[in-house]
Amino acid sequence: MSKLTIAIAKGRLQAEAVQLLSDAGLSLSPADLASRRLTTEDQSGQYRFIFVKPSDVPVYVEHGNVDCGIVGRDVLLESEASLLQPLVFTIGKCRIVVAAPHGWSNNGGGLLRVATKYPRIAANYFGSRGQPVEIITLSGSVELAPALGLADCIVDLVETGLTLRENGLTVFEVIADSSARLVFNRASYQLKASAVRELIIALAARSTRQAQNYD
Amino acid sequence: MPQSLTKIPAGMKYYLGREATLRRSIEQTALSVFAGWSYEQIVTPAVDYYALFELGMGEEAERAFRFTDSDGRLLALRPELTSTIARAVATLFSKRPRPLRLCYAAPVFRQQPPSHTEWRREVTQVGCELIGRNSQAADLEVLLVASEFLRNLDLSGTFVITLNDLEIFNGIAADLNLYSKLRHELRELIDLRNAADLETFLAPFDPHGRVREFTQLLQLSGKREIFEKARRVITNPRSTLALANLESLWITIEELGLYEYFDVDLADISRLDYYTGLTFKIYVEGVGVRIGGGGRYDSLIGNFGMAEPAVGFVVEVDPLAELLRNDRHLTQEDKVEIVEVGTRDLSAVFGDAMESRVRGKQIVINFSEETTCLS
């Protein structure tokens, strides 16, 4: 059977994703995980793993250099890559929200300034509601923007809400719920069908859907 | 020269030497297979009204390069050929006997979203259209033409053509009575094989367990065994009929010994708006995106007058050329005869050259220093 290459998003999701894979019988040796190598194989030799920045997972998978990946829905929405998404996992849960200082009201009147690491998600969200916005793209610490007067509100990822609260921000609207997903390249999905099927069955137990649907 | 003229616009490319030869050779392979099945070549205008493409392609037409005619009407560089051919068939060629078999090899132009895998904005397409017959025989003919083309490129064992019939989806979806935006969303979720979101989406519409029909669709890909499984979940008459048609097509493919080149994939819902029945997509190992596809479009031609059925496919030459660039069979060079100019008289030199050409030899004239100075 063809070997599959799986991209795993580094950072927030990585430990949970590795745990999920090992629960499904795809074990990585602790030595490999501890090393700084960016690519490794599972102990059966049937899967190869690469570790890349979350936003690079859809890029590798869409080009087909990597067959599949585990990545958050937030990253997928922002990348707009055309990938198959057969499984939704329960790990990496968070929400993409509109947050602003207490007392803010979005009356839909004037031009709204929105600071975010997710310019496409923000533009699509306000665009679909017909609201004119100025999107200000930042690469981190977005919570600062309203306090410093750079933006009226922010679009950001929230897990516990603690960072927001500590910076005097409140969630006003939830744009989308996010959790990790298994994504596939469209060509790999067809050309390596039996290996793909085996992986989906192995991982379905940890998804939001029941494994028996994949009999 | 100003910098702006040394730079090439994004998505455009020059091809030279072996690379150019290989591309031409892939086109020739396609055209000779088409000719072998008696498809006539058609050359279509590179520029046409934008409205024509919009009618055929739906919102995908937005990727066309657009500009205005002198009378203010919106024009486009062709982003595909099927719409243009459909119009010609209903008008110029309406009196020709049916079936019409047409084929082409031509560049098309599309703008690309910045992050898209396909960076090229000009790609060469080879394709064929069989017009005037709505029968399984016509569908099968086109599938066999496609698979012969790929086999002639020595791609046996590395390509797969996935088959579906859109009427299977249409039959299930019709019962839901969705307005177009929701129908579009439903198509998208199935196309992405996104079972979890599909279930959430369908929950409000599910009085009779149709969720099960839809979510099972996502997992119905494979070979003959699919039909048995599909019959268990697909019950409405429209879908059942389409499924039976697809199965009988599959059985013929098996009888012809071609099943290794094909797969069934009931979740493959094409995005082009004009397909009505059979649809198929073509994938090759080593290319991360589909290299082509096609299907039946029985309502497109009616937009231009006479309604009549049609089926066809298209394959993009560019990804194939990249994949096959090391293929010696397609890029082999003939033995070359060198004709030395030296100090000889030019009539003697070119007399030799013409004689070699008459024998069909490839020659190269090797100019001496002296002749270079003369020019």
CA distances from B114 to A84, A196, B121 (A): 20, 29, 11
Residues of B in CB contact (< 8 Å) with A are 113, 115, 117, 158, 160, 162, 192-197, 199, 215, 218-219, 221-222, 263, 265, 281, 283-285, 287-290
- Distance between the two ends of chain B, CA-based, in angstroms? 26
Chosen from B120, B155, B219, B323 to mutate, greatest number of chain A CBs within 10 A: B219
User: Average pLDDT for residues A33-59, to the nearest whole number?
Assistant: 88
Q: Please judge whether A187 and B283 are an interchain contact, meaning their C-beta atoms are less than 8 angstroms apart.
A: yes
Residue B262 three-state SS: strand
pTM of the model: 0.88
pLDDT at B208: 63
Our CA-based measurement puts residue A81 at a distance from the nearest CA of chain B, in whole angstroms, of 7
CB-nearest to B288 from A63, A87, A208 is A63
Q: Which residues of A touch B284 (CB under 8 A)?
A: 187, 191
pLDDT for B342: 85
- A62 touches B at CB < 8 Å: yes
For residue B325, pLDDT over 80 is answered with yes
CATH, range A94-178: 3.40.190.10
A4-92+179-214: what CATH class? alpha beta
Neighbours of A15 (CB within 10 A): 11
What is the residue whose two structure tokens read 């935006």? B181
Distance, in Å, from the CA atom of A17 to the CA atom of A52, rounded to the nearest integer, reads 13
**What's the CA gap between B90 and B363, in Å, rounded?**
48
Q: Parse chain A into domains and list their residue ranges.
A: 4-92+179-214, 94-178
Q: How far is Cα B3 from Cα B214, in angstroms, rounded to an integer? A: 55
User: Taking residues B313-331, what's their average pLDDT?
Assistant: 86
Q: Select from B184, B195, B266 the least CA-distant residue to A89.
A: B195
Look at strands A94-101 and A153-158 and give their pairing: antiparallel
Count Cα neighbours of A92 within 13 Å in the Cβ-side half-sphere: 30
Give me A136's structure tokens.
Answer: 């200000």
Report pLDDT digits (tens) over A65-77. Answer: 999 999 999 999 9
pLDDT over 70, % of chain B: 92
Taking only the tens place, the pLDDT of each residue in A84-128 is 999 999 999 999 999 999 888 877 667 899 999 999 999 999 999
> Hey, are the CB atoms on B113 and A185 less than 8 Å from each other?
no
Distance from CA of A86 to the nearest CA of B (A): 5
CB contact under 8 A, A85 and B194: yes
| Position A213 confidence tier, pLDDT thresholds 50, 70, 90 | very low
Distant-in-sequence, close-in-space partners of A113: CB < 8 Å, separation ≥ 6 = A133, A134, A136, A150, A151, A152, A153
What are the tokens at A111? 């031009």
Chain Cα centroid distance, residue B114: 22
Distance CA B182, CA B50 (A): 26
- Return the pLDDT at A210: 44
Q: How far is B275 from chain A (nearest CA, A)?
A: 20
* Confidence (pLDDT) at B182: 86
pLDDT score of B129:
97
SS3 B76: strand
Handedness of CA B19, B24, B25, B27 (dihedral sign): positive
Q: pLDDT tier at A207 (50, 70, 90 boundaries)?
A: confident
CB contact under 8 A, A209 and B196: yes
- The residue of chain A nearest to residue B158, with distances taken between CA atoms, is A191
Report A:142-201 residues touching B (Cβ under 8 A). 184-191, 193
Q: Based on the number of CB atoms within 10 Å of its own CB, is B158 exposed (0-12), middle (13-18) or buried (19 or more)?
A: middle
C-alpha A153/C-alpha A145 separation (Å) is 8
Give B281's pLDDT tier (boundaries 50, 70, 90): very high
In chain B, which residue's Cα lies nearest the Cα of A64?
B288
All residues of chain B having their beta carbon less than 8 Å from the beta carbon of residue A189 are: 193
Enumerate the residues of chain A whose CB falls inside 8 A of the CB of residue B283: 186-187, 190-191
> What pLDDT digit, counting tens, does each position of A131-152 carry?
889 999 999 899 999 999 999 9
pLDDT at B196: 84
Q: Of the candidates B196, B265, B285, which has its C-beta nearest A208's C-beta? A: B196
> What pLDDT is attached to residue B116?
66
Contact assignment for B115 to A83 by CB distance below 8 Å: no
**What is the rounded average pLDDT for all residues in chain B?**
89
Q: Do A64 and B160 touch (CB under 8 A)?
A: no
CA–CA dist B106, B104 (Å, integer): 6
Instruction: Tell me what the mean pLDDT of segment B358-371 comes to.
Output: 82
* Nearest CA-CA partner of A164 in A147, A180, A149, A151: A147
ipTM for this prediction: 0.84
Least confident segment among A175-184, B83-92, B172-181, B221-230: B172-181
Q: State which H helix or E strand residue A71 sits in.
A: strand A68-72
In this model, does residue B332 exceed pLDDT 80? no
Closest partner CB to A86 (pick from B113, B193, B284):
B193
Whether the domain at A4-92+179-214 and the domain at A94-178 fall into the same CATH topology = yes
Structure tokens given for B306: 């006479």
Angle made by CA atoms B302, B306, B311, in degrees to the nearest 5: 60
Give the percent of chain A with pLDDT over 90.
69
Residue of A5, A128, A11 whose CA lies nearest to A72: A11
* A181 phi/psi in degrees, rounded to 5: -130, 155
Nearest CA in chain B to A186: B289
Partners of B263 on chain A (C-beta within 8 Å) are 190, 193
Least confident of A3-12, A205-214, B188-197, B273-282: A205-214
User: How confident is the model over B25-60, as pLDDT tens digits?
Assistant: 999 999 999 999 999 999 999 999 999 999 888 888
Contact A171, A98 (CB under 8 A): yes
What's residue A212's pLDDT? 39
**How much is the mean pLDDT over chain A?**
89
The yes-or-no verdict on residue B244 having pLDDT over 90 is: yes
Positive or negative, the Cα torsion across B123, B124, B129, B135? Answer: negative
Longest dimension (CA), chain B: 93
Q: Look at residue B2 in the predicted model and tell me its pLDDT.
A: 67
pLDDT at B328: 66
User: Which residue on chain B is closest to A200 by alpha carbon?
Assistant: B219
Cβ of A80 within 8 Å of Cβ of B222? The answer is no
Q: Is the peptide bond before B99 cis (omega within 30 degrees of 0)?
A: yes
